[in-house]
Amino acid sequence: MPSSKLYNKDGDAKAVNIQKGLEKKLGFLPEAFQVMGRNGDFLEAMLQLHEVAGKGLDPKTKELIALAVSAVNGCVYCFDAHRAFAKQAGVSDEEITAALEVVAQMSAFNNFNKAISLNSDIK
């Protein structure tokens, strides 16, 4: 159950218009875009950020990065969404598993190195 109100096409007029477009494009209106639907300016800004972030990356790479960050941040919603988007972009299950192996390896190194306060000597 969401901890915030879901604005399913009942926010401000700009949000309703954006949400209708998203629903048409996706076939349904994901809860992430419902909860952002109170304020059309905010929803528009978040969608614009999604569009401009990672310019210059191919869709597969962008989605693998999003998947990795979602895993590290522990956001199941984002992980599931970006796994689906990665699959749509042509990412294989093997590539997803490989990306998560890198996530696990980096998390282990990051936690170990933070715990013992190493100097940054590889530059």
Which positions are catalytic? Answer: 75, 78
Determine how many CB atoms are found less than 10 A away from the CB of residue 37: 26
**CA–CA gap between residue 18 and residue 111 (Å, rounded):** 41
78 membership: H or E segment, kind and range: helix 76-88
Kindly give, in sequence order, each residue whose CB lies less than 8 Å from that of residue 68, ignoring residues fewer than 6 positions away: 99, 100, 102, 103
DSSP state at residue 55: T
CA dihedral 25, 9, 37, 63 (to 10 degrees): -20
